Amino acid sequence: DAGVIQSPRHEVTEMGQEVTLRCKPISGHDYLFWYRQTMMRGLELLIYFNNNVPIDDSGMPEDRFSAKMPNASFSTLKIQPSEPRDSAVYFCASRRGTAVTANTGELFFGEGSRLTVL
C-alpha cells in the first residue's frame, strides 16, 4: 500500500505569497493530522480531521492558516499571506480510528513539505 503522500516536497516562496500544501492519506484511515516541525518548537499539532471533519484546530497559529479536507483522500493546508516565521517542515499523518481492536493509534507520516518563506 502507498503511504501518506505529500506535495510539494520543497517550496520556496516570498513573503506575502499564498502557499498550499497537499496531502493524500492512506486509504481507509479515518484520521488525518497536520503537524509543523521547527527547531525552536519541535513538532506541533496544527489541526486534525476525523472522517473529513475538522475536530481540533486549536493549534493553528492564526487566521492566515486554513485547512480543508474535501474528501477522504485529500487534504490541503493553506497559508495566506505567508511570512518568514512560517518557514518549517509541515507533516501530514494519518491513522485508523482507535475503535479498531488492538489499534494503539500509530500515526503514519508523509515525508513532509519543507517551506521556506523569504
Partner 1 sequence: AQTVTQSQPEMSVQEAETVTLSCTYDTSESNYYLFWYKQPPSRQMILVIRQEAYKQQNATENRFSVNFQKAAKSFSLKISDSQLGDTAMYFCAFRSQGAQKLVFGQGTRLTINP
Are the beta carbons of 82 and 19 closer than 8 angstroms?
A: yes
Told to check if 45 binds partner 1 by CB under 8 A, we report yes
Told to check if 91 binds partner 1 by CB under 8 A, we report yes
CB closer to partner 1, 38 vs 80: 38
Told to check if 101 binds partner 1 by CB under 8 A, we report no
Told to check if 25 binds partner 1 by CB under 8 A, we report no
- Three-class secondary structure of residue 84 per DSSP: helix
Q: Is 47 exposed, middle or buried (0-12, 13-18, 19+ CB in 10 A)?
A: buried
Stretch that binds partner 1, among 19-27, 50-58, 61-69, 75-83 (CB under 8 A): 50-58
For partner 1, how many residues bind (rule: CB under 8 A)? 23
Are the beta carbons of 4 and 24 closer than 8 angstroms?
A: yes
Are the beta carbons of 35 and 45 closer than 8 angstroms?
A: yes
CB closer to partner 1, 4 vs 117: 4
Cell readout for 110 is 508523509
d(CA 115, CA 3): 21
Residue of the chain from 12, 55, 100, 118 that contacts partner 1 (CB under 8 A): 55
> Site residues (CB under 8 A) for partner 1?
31, 33, 42-43, 45, 48, 50, 55-56, 89, 91, 93, 98, 104-112, 114
